Amino acid sequence: MISESADGSTPADEAGREEGNGGSAGSARSSGPGRRSFLRGLAVGGGVVAGGAVGAGAGYSLRGPGAPDPAAALNAQMVDGLVSAVPFHGEHQTGITPAPAPATSVVSFTATADTRADLISLFQTITDRARFLTVGGTPPPVGIGGPPSDSGMLGPTVVPDGLTITFGVGSTLFDDRYGLASAAPARLTQMKSFPNDDLDPAQCGGDLIMQFSAWDEDVVLHALRDIKTNTQGGMQPNWRIAGFASPARPTGTVPRNLFGFMDGISNPAVTDATQMNDLVWVQPGAPGEPAWTAGGSYMVVRLIRMLTEFWDRVDIYEQQLMIGRYRTSGYPLDADGIYAAPDYSTDPTGDVIPMNAHIRLANPRTPETASSRIMRRGWNYNRGLDEVGDLDIGLVFTCFQQDIQRQFEATQTRLINEPMIDYISPFGGGYFLALPGVRDSSDYFGRAMFA
Amino acid sequence: MRTRRLIAAAAASTALAGAVTACSSGAPAQPSAAADTVITFTDAACGGTWHAGPGWHTFQVSNQASAGAEVDLTNPANGAIYAELENTGPGTTVPMSLDLGSGNYAFVCEINEVDPIAGPTVTVSGHVKGTPAILPVTYDELYPLCKADQQETLAGITELAKETTVLAEDVGSGNLTQAKRDWLTAHLQYETLGVAYSSFAQYDGEIDGRADATGVNSPQWTGFYRLEYGLWHGQSASELTPVANTLNTDVDQLLAWWRTQEVDPLDLVRRAHEVLENALQFQLTGHDDYGSGTTLATTLANVTATRYLVSLLRPLLASRYPGLSSVYSGLDQLRALLEKEHLPNGSWVPVSALPSSTRAEIDAACSQVVQELAPIPSIADPRYTLHDF
């Protein structure tokens, strides 16, 4: 799964994907549609923060409605020129479809809330904090009753910076602790260990998953710290990995991975409702699925070490045969264009693109495999060294789909013995369901799940 | 200017339920668009009159006095503080932000070496709640508690001194099995005293210091952890006898020193949260396990110490900190989780042997408690008031 997911898109798809970035990438650093959302959200954000004080009993009280618009305008000016907000509310979580933002952090948590009611409070708090953090605003100045409510690492005003917070649940949440067994998503299991995996249990699974993505790493960390501070006791971090998305080089929209290959060239088009409903979003009435899962999306996270020193000692032609694309251009070995679809019908024995090339196994481009396409999102991770001084760097692979078995596992099964496997080592991750979106200011993550 | 920690203005710990309630209530507090109000104070006057409606407001407080000053925005009726600025330098202007609710306000300027002066009383009209004012805790309120703590700790060290004497005798007589048991008893007694950072001066390093800076083979390393390392790494009685004797002597010296000490009020209020912060950093991580595997027992002793300190401060906190009941329930929950790891044979489960789910529960419970303890030093920090002069 290094180079690309199930292929099948066109240049038009790609343009569509960019359009659908919702301010995170496509409209970055311009005042696009996100601006209005930011203004609208500011009021809510401020209220949430003040509300935190209510719960802690600091004596805060909410004032009457009637948010003065000039205040919002003032704060809008403060963030002028910065990356605008990605709208938070929607049928689906809004952090799923944007192209990978430059900085990300994926964090798994163990739910430690004592009761079902406490777990609901936890989900509501996460909702409130995410609603505030993604639109930004000024944390409240409050009396002498405690340490600051905000870490201050973004200055006096929290900027949105294209922040998205994607929230999901793992299969272990549906055990007997919270009475959720009957609400378990039908297609949610523990992550399967594939034959070439070397999974570390300490970096696998989790009751809850959160992915923070933004244009700058400080915003990602600020959001994580805020969420953690506000949820102490309710959930305990389990494992975490930070990642970055490379710029497209030399030009274009497709970033290169750590093997030097353009990565994630094709995906379902996020603006094509048919593709998204066929491949990504859990549909209302999906067989066996509890109704509450509609609008959600199954999320696979795979932490994959890439043995880059080894890879760099491999002849360029062998590298390209393993991937199926040219390293320089990203073109398929049989075509003249980055978005051109390889034509396997004219190459039935793999003389040009080997039968076991990554792109050919990942997406054979047959009618039978079309429904196994996934929406792939990937970031590079960059940690320290291993025992022999090789770099511990690799891929934070994520993908979204409506059926993990039909899509990710089917694709991964085709890839089991691809030649590239010698140069990578999957060591962690998990399967989750990214919850349906938070519809509006009165909604919260998982409301229907708890109903 | 007296020395005091910077007090940051903030809400108390954000409990889960709190944020939830607020969200569903809808109406937000948020920054106001009103222009900042400049408050200029001198040696003779603490600002002039000012006008502001309710809502989020920033004052630009300008020190035109001859020295550094603290400036509080108070309720003139009772001296409760809405917001404070510490250590403003002469010639500087510092912002003070708060959510102004309906009521009466007066700035109080406490200029170094000058009796505090109050500015004019200003009324913010309407029926709106804003940033709450908290009655300052005074030195006079804390001194009796400091005296009580001095006595309580004296009793604790006296007991400790007996235990380290027994421990030294065990080691000296070569009974290392008994020494291991008595080591635990004495170490937990020490950890129950609620020491944090400098409250025992150099004695804490001598009695309970880690090997971080010295390494485990250094003769400079003394105290409980040094003895633990030896007892659980097969070192001989003859090798450990001087270690145990030094520990015993150091505790005796601590006892003699402590009789002459007065407890600093600042130290008292900070220990209420610092003791468990240290437990989270050094005990629950397993960092301070030098072989006995008893860092959960140490954490439990720290819970006991924290509960003692919070209870000592309770008369001051009860009316000022609505999160206090959560502190107690959190401490009780953490205690219960830790006690589960105390095995019938008297030994403790090392943190490294805990199932990950159990460890997550314990870590989460401790993290929650330290979050809820965090406001205590801010609230109970001793402050002078107009009435002190």
Give the residue from chain B lying closest to A235, CA to CA. Answer: B364
Residue to mutate among A49, A63, A157, A203, with most B CBs inside 10 A, is A63
- The pLDDT score that the predictor gives to residue B231 is 98
For chain A, say whether B52 makes contact (Cβ under 8 Å).
Answer: no
**Is the distance from CB of B83 to CB of A143 less than 8 angstroms?**
yes
- The pLDDT score that the predictor gives to residue A117 is 97
Q: Is the Cβ pair B11, A53 closer than 8 Å? A: yes
**Alpha helices for A303-357 (secondary structure H):** 308-312, 316-323
**Is the distance from CB of B103 to CB of B80 less than 8 angstroms?**
no
Parallel/antiparallel/unpaired status of strands B55-63 and B37-41:
parallel
Q: How far apart are CA A6 and CA A372, in angstroms?
A: 7
| Section A98-123 average pLDDT | 96
Q: How far apart are CA B109 and CA B95, in angstroms?
A: 15
Give the number of A-B residue pairs with CB atoms closer than 8 Å. 267
For chain B, say whether A52 makes contact (Cβ under 8 Å).
Answer: yes
Q: At what angle are helices B295-317 and B324-339 packed, to 10 degrees? A: 160
Instruction: Indicate the burial class of A425 (C-beta count within 10 angstroms; 0-12, 13-18, 19 or more).
Output: middle
Q: Is the Cβ pair A146, B379 closer than 8 Å? A: yes
Q: How far apart are CA A398 and CA A38, in angstroms?
A: 27
For chain A, say whether B12 makes contact (Cβ under 8 Å).
Answer: yes
The mean of the pLDDT values for chain B is: 89
- The pLDDT score that the predictor gives to residue A140 is 82
Token digits for A346?
A: 């004219």
Q: Return the minimum-mean-pLDDT range out of A259-268, A307-316, B205-214.
A: A259-268
Give the residue from chain A lying closest to B73, CA to CA. Answer: A143
Residue B63 clears pLDDT 50, i.e. is over it: yes
Of B19, B28, B81, the CB nearest to A67: B28
pLDDT tens column, B311-357: 999 999 999 999 999 999 999 999 999 999 999 999 999 999 999 99
Quick one: what percent of chain B has pLDDT higher than 70? 90
Q: What one-character-per-residue DSSP string does B98-149 give?
A: EEE-SEEEEEEEEETTS--EE---EEE-SS---SPPBPPBPHHHHHHHHHHH
pLDDT band with cut points at 50, 70 and 90 for residue A14: very low
For chain A, say whether B363 makes contact (Cβ under 8 Å).
Answer: yes
Residue A305 clears pLDDT 90, i.e. is over it: yes
Q: Return the minimum-mean-pLDDT range out of A146-155, A408-417, B30-39, B270-279.
A: B30-39
| Longest CA span, chain B | 78
The DSSP secondary-structure symbol of A127 reads H
B271 Cα distance to chain centroid: 4
Residues of B in contact with A173 (CB under 8 A): none
For chain B, say whether A152 makes contact (Cβ under 8 Å).
Answer: no
pLDDT tens column, B18-30: 333 333 333 334 4
Give the residue from chain B lying closest to A172, CA to CA. Answer: B357
**Is the distance from CB of A91 to CB of A439 less than 8 angstroms?**
yes
Per DSSP (E only), the strands in A295-368 are 297-306
Instruction: Indicate the burial class of B26 (C-beta count within 10 angstroms; 0-12, 13-18, 19 or more).
Output: middle
Residues of A in contact with B13 (CB under 8 A): 56, 146, 232
Query: Which H/E stretch holds residue A393?
Result: strand A391-401
Give the residue from chain B lying closest to A142, CA to CA. Answer: B10
- The pLDDT score that the predictor gives to residue B114 is 81
Interface ipTM > 0.85: yes
| Section B139-147 average pLDDT | 96
Residue A36 clears pLDDT 50, i.e. is over it: no
pLDDT tens column, A370-391: 999 999 999 999 999 999 999 9
Of B10, B15, B19, the CB nearest to A128: B19
Instruction: Indicate the burial class of A111 (C-beta count within 10 angstroms; 0-12, 13-18, 19 or more).
Output: buried
Q: What count of other Cβ atoms lies within 10 Å of the Cβ of residue B304? A: 18
Please name the amino acid found at residue B11: A
- The pLDDT score that the predictor gives to residue B136 is 95
Q: What's the angle, vertex CA B351, arms to CA B350 and CA B354, rounded to 5?
A: 95
Q: What is the dihedral of CA B184, B185, B186, B189, to 10 degrees?
A: 120
- The pLDDT score that the predictor gives to residue B196 is 76
The mean of the pLDDT values for chain A is: 84
| Section A38-60 average pLDDT | 28
For chain A, say whether B323 makes contact (Cβ under 8 Å).
Answer: yes
A349 dihedral zone (left: phi>0; alpha: psi -120 to 50; beta):
alpha
For chain A, say whether B5 makes contact (Cβ under 8 Å).
Answer: no
Query: Which H/E stretch holds residue A212?
Result: strand A208-214
Q: What one-character-per-residue DSSP string does B207-225 give?
A: HH--STTT-TT-TT--SHH
| Section A3-14 average pLDDT | 41
Number of H helices, E strands in chain A: 11, 8
Token digits for B119?
A: 């500015």
- The pLDDT score that the predictor gives to residue A253 is 83
pLDDT band with cut points at 50, 70 and 90 for residue B195: confident
- The pLDDT score that the predictor gives to residue A8 is 40
Q: How far apart are CA A124 and CA A165, in angstroms?
A: 14
- The pLDDT score that the predictor gives to residue B389 is 53
pLDDT band with cut points at 50, 70 and 90 for residue B387: low
Q: How far apart are CA B263 and CA B196, in angstroms?
A: 13
Of A128, A140, A148, the CB nearest to B29: A140
Residue A15 clears pLDDT 60, i.e. is over it: no
A130 or A6, which is more confident?
Answer: A130
- The pLDDT score that the predictor gives to residue A6 is 42
- The pLDDT score that the predictor gives to residue A59 is 25
Of B12, B18, B32, the CB nearest to A71: B32
| Section A5-26 average pLDDT | 37
Q: What count of other Cβ atoms lies within 10 Å of the Cβ of residue A179? A: 12
Parallel/antiparallel/unpaired status of strands A103-111 and A235-244:
antiparallel
- The pLDDT score that the predictor gives to residue B127 is 86
- The pLDDT score that the predictor gives to residue B384 is 79
